[in-house]
Amino acid sequence: MPFNIKDKVEIEEEGNMIKEFTVKTSRRNEFIDITDRVANIVRESGIEEGICTVFIPHTTAGVTINEKADPNVVRDIISALEKLVPEGAGYRHLEGNSDSHIKSTLVGASEKLVVSSNRLLLGTWQAIFFCEFDGPRTRKCIVQVIKA
Q: Interface with Zn ion by CB under 5 A: which residues?
A: 95, 97
In the bound state, the residue with its beta carbon closest to Zn ion is 95
Least separation in angstroms between residue 93's CB and Zn ion is 5
Task: Return the number of other C-beta atoms located less than 10 Å from residue 137's C-beta.
Answer: 15
Q: Which is nearer to Zn ion, 21 or 91 (CB)?
A: 91
Q: Which is nearer to Zn ion, 87 or 95 (CB)?
A: 95
Least separation in angstroms between residue 105's CB and Zn ion is 12
Least separation in angstroms between residue 49's CB and Zn ion is 40
Q: Which is nearer to Zn ion, 1 or 94 (CB)?
A: 94
How many CA atoms lie less than 13 Å away from 6 in the CB half-sphere?
0
- Give the helix ranges, DSSP H, for the chain: 35-45, 71-84, 98-107
| 129 neighbors 66 (Cβ within 8 angstroms) | yes
Q: Which is nearer to Zn ion, 76 or 87 (CB)?
A: 87
Least separation in angstroms between residue 101's CB and Zn ion is 6
Give burial (CB, 10 Å; 0-12/13-18/19+) of 6.
exposed
DSSP single-letter state for residue 86: -
